[in-house]
Structure formats: structure tokens, C-alpha cells
Amino acid sequence: MSRSRTVTVNLSNFNVANGNYNTLRLSSLPATETFVSHTQNALQQGTASVNSNSLTITIPALSTTAVLLAKAATYVTFNNRATGMLMDGMYRYTDGSLAGQWHSSGSTAQQWAIEPAGSYVKIKNRASGLYLDGNGNSANGAGVVQKNASTSFNQQWQQEAAGSYVKFKNRATGLYIDGMGSSQDGIDLGQWQTSSSSNQQWSITTVGSSGARESALVDKENIRMVEPGESKFNAYPNPFVSNFKLEVPDSGEPFEVVFYDMTGRTVETTRHSGSSNGLTLGSGLKPGLYVVRVKGTTWSKSIKVFKR
């Protein structure tokens, strides 16, 4: 009521990148009211510094302060199955500049954020802030460019499963992102009509906060991969439209089913008593490719499913 106070806020379950964030404050408020006038209690702008998901701020007596935080983005890399090259923004910042490919370097130009756009996704480069764009060109071999954010269908891509890989189809052009069969650093990223070529197949790997890459496929967790009774799991239909049936061998113990999207983010978790080995799942998922991990006490199994 009568003096300022310094407080520390520790954030949980909401990751924020280190840096300065804006604050908005109403100050010099009377004890019996919340506002006197726009001059006496004018809204003041300031900043608060976040480090390791924690911030310390000094707030005046009789004041209200809002700290405007933004959740840290999750970044991924896209590795071409045929060429072994990564999609790369090439540190090009000009609207309409071509995207390219480069062997893994750890640079932010090779890191991308996947943003939902209805049943499609948009792909934003970490270094430039530009989005992959089909550029309205439906000719085989057309380049993939990078542009400022827009609502154009040229920036919207449909994710399609291709075994353990993913293909990206442009909503406007109908063409797929293609490595074009070249493993030369700096080669342009192209588009091509659908084919079974591994040039159109990409693996997605999450970039850790330290800059090291972490596999988006949870199969590589340090956990003993044993199938109960040496029987196989079965998911059908796969791909599916509304839901799918998951058959789990009877292990006689409770187990957990976890869905991961292709950035490695957990999107759904359910727990089961083990009394039934036939489960109906997937009704709450958005269209896309998912890793499903079924985990018991001493065993774990991961499979991939695709929702149309």
C-alpha cells in the first residue's frame, strides 16, 4: 500500500525465450479507487527482462502491471531423404528470394517454425522470418521462394505421410517440395508434381534449446523396446479420417498412449488399465502425421499414424 516491492516470477509450463518484454502499468492509484484520470494514472510502458524462464521486476505501491510475454517458438529442420541436405533460407531476407538447400550446419537459416493454418501449415524461417511460398508457379521444377507473411494459399502446405517421412504439397500450385536430386550446397529448393521419389520425402527433427538437434521421432528414447509376447501392434485404418483402432497385445498391466506431432510436441496423452487390448483413438486430432507411443512398465512401442 505504501512502498514499492521487487518480485521474482518463475514461469512453469510456458517456455519464454530470453530477452526483454514489454510491460504496461497503471500507477499512483488511490487506495479506494482504481483510476482517477488519464494524466494522474497514465498508462506507462516499460520492459522486463526474462532469463531462464524467470523475471524480476520492481512494482510501485498501488499499481497494476501487466507483463506481455510470448511463448518461445519450437524450431525444426527438414532433411531430404535423397540428398541428405537440409532446407535452408540461405540468410536471404528479400521478399520473393529463393529458398535453398545446404548440408547440416546448425545455422538458424536451416531452422523453421511450423505454424497451423487450418488443415494446412505455414513454414517460417527462423533467421529471416519469411515463409516458404509456392509463388503461384505450377510448372515442374519451379522454385520455392520466401515471402512475408500473408493469407495466400501459396504459403499453405499440406503434410502427407510417406512411410516414416513427410511430403509437403502446396495448396495453390498442387506441387510438392522437392530436393531436385542435387547434393550441391546452395542448390535451389524446388517443386514437382507428386511422385514416389525420395526427393520429395523429408524427415523432421526438433532443434533443442541448446542448438543441438533432438529427434522428433520418439523411437530413439533411451527405453527398452520390447513388445509384450513378441506380438506386433496394429493400427487400422491407417491413414484414417475420423478415428482408428489400436490393437495392443495383452500385457496384463496398465499402459499409456502418447501422441506426438512431427515437431516432437505432445498433443494427447491417455492412460489405460490394460483390461482391453482394442482401443479407438484419434478423434480429437487435427489432420497430419503423428508418432504414437504405447508405453508399459518395462516396454515401449512407437508407431506412426496419419490423419487425413
| Tens of pLDDT, residues 239-268 | 888 999 988 877 667 788 889 887 677 888
Cell of 27: 500507477
**Which pLDDT value is given to residue 209?**
45
**Pseudo-torsion of CA 179, 182, 187, 193, nearest 10°?**
-30
**Which pLDDT value is given to residue 303?**
82
Architecture per CATH, 76-215 = Trefoil (2.80)
pLDDT band at 275 (very low <50, low <70, confident <90, very high): low
**Which pLDDT value is given to residue 33?**
64
Q: Is the pLDDT of residue 141 over 80?
A: yes
pLDDT band at 111 (very low <50, low <70, confident <90, very high): very high
According to DSSP, the residues that pair with 267 across neighbouring strands are: none
Please state, in angstroms and rounded to a whole number, the distance separating the CA atoms of residues 160 and 146.
21
**Which pLDDT value is given to residue 272?**
83
Architecture per CATH, 218-307 = Sandwich (2.60)
Cell of 223: 527405453
Q: Is the pLDDT of residue 172 over 70?
A: yes
First to last CA, the chain: 58
**Which pLDDT value is given to residue 34?**
64
**SS3 label, residue 206:** strand
**Which pLDDT value is given to residue 196?**
94
Determine the residue type at 131: Y
Please report, for residues 48, 59, 71, 109, 280, the alpha-carbon distance to residue 7 in angstroms, rounded to integers and kept in the order given: 12, 8, 21, 37, 48
- Residue pair 157/121 in contact by the 8 Å Cβ criterion: yes
Domain ranges of the chain: 5-67, 76-215, 218-307
The pTM of the whole model exceeds 0.85: no
pLDDT band at 213 (very low <50, low <70, confident <90, very high): very low
Considering only CA atoms, which of 116, 121, 141, 119 is closest in space to residue 132? 121
- Residue pair 171/187 in contact by the 8 Å Cβ criterion: no
**Which pLDDT value is given to residue 99?**
96
Cell of 170: 502446396
Considering only CA atoms, which of 125, 145, 124, 142 is closest in space to residue 133? 145
Please state, in angstroms and rounded to a whole number, the distance separating the CA atoms of residues 113 and 96.
19
With a CB cutoff of 8 Å and minimum separation 6, the contacts of 30 are 36, 62
Report the half-sphere exposure of 124 (CA within 13 A, side-chain side).
14
**Which pLDDT value is given to residue 251?**
63
Higher pLDDT, 64 or 40: 64
Q: Percent of the chain scored above 90 by pLDDT?
A: 40
Higher pLDDT, 233 or 151: 151
Average pLDDT, the chain: 83
Higher pLDDT, 41 or 302: 302
